[in-house]
Chains A and B, each alone.
Chain A
Amino acid sequence: MKRIVPVLLLAAGLLAPAVGFADDGVTPGQFTANNVWMMLAAGLVFIMHLGFATLESGLTRAKNTTNILFKNTFIVSIGILTYALCGFNLMYPGEFNGILGFAGLGLGAGYEPGANTVAYADGGYTYWTDFLFQAMFAATAATIVSGAVAERIKLSSFMIFSTIFVGLVYTIAGSWKWGGGWLDGMGFYDFAGSTLVHSVGGWGALAGVLLLGPRLGKYGKDGRITPIPGSNMPLAAMGVFLLWLGWFGFNGGSVLSADPAAVSFVLVTTCLAASAGCMIAIAVSWRFAGKPDLSMALNGILAGLVGITAGADTVGITSAVLIGGVAGGIVVFSVMFFDHIKIDDPVGAISVHLVCGIWGTLAVGIFSTNPAHSFVTQLIGVGAYGAFTFTSAFIIFGVIKLVMGLRVSEEEEIEGLDLSEHGMHAYDLAAGAGWLEQQTASGARVGAVPATQLATSEN
């Protein structure tokens, strides 16, 4: 996924019409087809936010659902905005020293000649499509953190962290590979973001969880683990299916064109890995966690998807199945392991995105059909991203913790963040009023009575 400086393409593009063809032999029709697919892919990646929102809501308690949804809503919005302000140009700085570069504030480059023509990216997409597709990725990385820190992080602290994380950490790290930086120069490979998106999110999640501590009552003395079951399995399952659907765009769009062979192949490896991940997770959870656990099966699907994301285009079919299957097994053990060492992750985000993201990245070094890819280079990449991202996230969370605190109070956590942070339930919104108040409200009819209260008073 190497990005060439727009200026070079512009020059080529301006000359191309003289030859009678568009850039690289891409006809206007193909350019449109490519761009349409890329825009659709951007929309599919957006659907992943639906997936995260529903999955996280399903696997956490109902008293925190409004808070979870609020965080997810916030992240996608701040993600797109910061990406427009500075993120895109931090991640794709053009010519730079390979470690840190900046192509300027804002999206002004989109208005330059050639930015929205076939000259921009080998006829794959326009500047605007490029921005939006990548912006969706950025927001995805940030939202991974929200699941791990759920049910006890202070809202304002989280908002500050995720703004800095998606605005600066994700983007600078991303420039090292997709922006043409030093890791790209070394031959490190990450097709659609097992490292750049998923492990980055996972490292941030790990840093947060370590500084935050577990939820109240989760771990007891003598190693006792108290399960805190989710509130809504249908939402969790729907969430995972939405994420899988989103992955059609996440991986399919990372081809950066509508190339029939490449995109169709990538979609197949992606779906095979997801399926294999599910099956192995089922088998492993049945054998080692006692029963066929639905939430584990769902995590298995995600693990397979994360695992294949680094090499969906460069591994063979059997390899895709293997990679996904291994990820499915890893994730079950990882979830139980983190609980064992008292790292509380309500949705398994660290296991799915960090651990399987690392696996997927290393798997490229093992299974890739491209001889230029090596295990050692992949390992170096994993280490570099780990060092930078974890350290940055730890520092940001750490400073926030010192300055304003990271966690809600015990009473707030017990009462539920919906009430303490938002003053609003997610379900049965009128329930907070109590049935006595509802009766009085319906009797007095002073001012407008909310529809929910009206319905109850008529019983």
Chain B
Amino acid sequence: MKKIQAIIKPFKLDDAKQALAEIDVVGMTVSEVKGFGRQKGHSELYRGAEYVVDFLPKVQLEVVVPDDLVEKVTLALSEATRTGSIGDGKIFVIPVEAAVRIRTGERGDAALT
């Protein structure tokens, strides 16, 4: 099992969700985060004084999948959320030791699907 953690541009969330649904991955967890990589912040003006905003709003999408789906999911997410400009984000793949479906007690891959 692997956790696929994608940090993407917020307006790309719908595209990501749809791409995952098309390959039958339906569960995910989403959080609102802030961050930056190479994408610089922007400046704002208030009553004549300028200030720079470094941290940009991003969305972090997490989904845990069986090992055989990792490549497919990573590809689908990349393509769905790519705009071509700086700030598109990154995807990380993290090993997961165990998974439990709380309602039934199922473990392992059975808990994921």
Contact = CB atoms under 8 A, between A and B. Distances in A.
A and B co-occur in one complex: yes
A285 interface: yes
B105 to A, nearest CB: 24
B47 A296 contact: yes
Contacts of A228: 46
A339 B48 contact: yes
B78 to A, nearest CB: 34
B47 A336 contact: yes
A291 to B, nearest CB: 5
B98 interface: no
A335 B48 contact: yes
Contacts of A227: 44-47, 49-51
Interface residues of A, number: 18
Contact of A339 (B44, B45, B47, B51): B47
B47 A293 contact: yes
Interface in B1-52: 44-51
B48 A288 contact: yes
B51 A293 contact: no
B47 A289 contact: yes
B47 A295 contact: yes
B51 A290 contact: no
Interface string A114-158: 000000000000000000000000000000000000000000000
Contacts of A229: 44, 46
Interface in B48-70: 48-51
Contacts of B46: 227-229, 293, 295
Interface of A: 225-229, 285, 288-291, 293, 295-296, 332, 335-336, 339, 348
Given A293-B46, A339-B47, 18 more contacts: A226-B49, A227-B44, A227-B46, A227-B47, A227-B51, A228-B46, A229-B44, A288-B48, A289-B45, A289-B47, A293-B47, A293-B48, A296-B48, A332-B48, A335-B48, A336-B47, A339-B48, A339-B49
Interface of B: 44-51
The 8 closest A-B pairs by CB, nearest first: A227-B46, A289-B48, A225-B49, A336-B48, A227-B49, A290-B45, A229-B46, A227-B51
